[in-house]
Structure formats: structure tokens, C-alpha cells
Amino acid sequence: MIPRAFASEFPHDNPELSDGAVWVCPRPCASPRARREPAPLLPPRESKPRSDVGKATAFEPPPPAPCSPFDRFVAAMVRVALATGGTRAAAELPRLLGSAEVSASLGATTLATLRMRGMVARDADVTAPQFRAHAIAWRDVLRGESGDLAACGETTLDQWAAALLTALLGWPERRADELRRALRREGVAAFGLLEAA
């Protein structure tokens, strides 16, 4: 059964096609006139039973996944990168911090900068072992899975993140303090996130 439209797209004289106006001609060759049917032809919509109120249905989206402090940290770095116009850096940050692989889409200049600053291995497109160890250590600290700050290296979280952003953006290292201040505005502190402290 095809549901009827509430208004007709073209004039017609068939009441089976729509619940809107029906066009009729009182005599041959006369101008058509719109006539409304006395009652809607569609059945009334049934209300949802009270017992189903509050229950999830198949059409409702699933609840959002819980966001860890590490995920919020990565999101803060992405926001800072986007604010500086570094769209490619923002796109690559989650992958760079989430796995050892480095995408070739970063470009030769950025990869060379990351290699020069010890963040990417010199002979392969993977993160350098020390950088990877620090990234994993900060992830574990932020998630509360570890309290070993010594494994995170000699720099604080905001300094480490600012150094990574300057390399990804191709900025000179002297501008790291500028990015560090931007990261702190996003809630990235020395040893964690301000909202999680």
C-alpha cells in the first residue's frame, strides 16, 4: 500500500492519490477547481505505548563512548594545531600518538624535521623508540594506568606536546612557548589535564 501525500504535486481528480486538494472539472473543457476531501484518507498515527517510554529502540544512536583523559589531551592538541592553520598536522596527530606508524602524507619537509628532532626514526617511517616510549608513558599516566612520571622523560606534558606540535607545524623550536601557552589554555598542564586534576 502506497501512503498518500498530504498535498498533490499536480492537479488531478483521483482521491486515491493524495489527502490534499482534489481537482475537479464541473463540465468538459471547464477550468479545474480544487475540492478538499471531508476527512483525511491516511490512518491516524498511533502513539507510543507508555511502557516503551525511556527504552532504547533500534533507531536511536548508541551512547557516546567514554572519553579518556588521553583522548582529551589528543583533542586539545588537535584544536591547537587547527587554530594555527595546521590541518595536516591536526589530521595526523591521533595516528602519530596512537601507533608507531608515520604517514607519508606529512610531506618530506615535515618528516625531515621530525627526524632531525628525534621523533621519527632515521631509516624508517615509524616513530623513534624514545619518542614512542614517552608517548606510551604519558598515555598510561593520563589514563591512570601508571604513576611513573620518570618514564615520561625530562620534560613536562605541556612542553613535550608543544615540542611535537612545533615539529609537525614546521615551526622553529623557539616558538614552542607560544604553543605551550595555547595548550595550557586548552587545559594541558605540566603533569596532566586541568579538568582531571
Tens place of pLDDT for every residue, the chain, 197 residues? 455 555 566 666 666 666 666 666 677 777 777 665 544 444 455 555 555 555 554 556 655 655 889 999 999 999 999 999 999 889 889 888 887 778 777 888 988 999 999 998 888 788 899 999 999 999 999 988 888 889 998 999 999 999 999 999 999 999 999 999 999 999 998 888 776 44
- As a whole number of angstroms, the distance between CA 25 and CA 156 comes to 84
8 Å CB contact between 27 and 13: no
Helices (H), the chain: 69-83, 87-98, 108-116, 129-142, 157-169, 176-185
CB 134 within 8 A of CB 152: yes
Residue spans of the domains in the chain: they are 69-196
* Predicted pLDDT at 41: 43
Please give the distance of CA 40 from its chain centroid, rounded to a whole number: 44
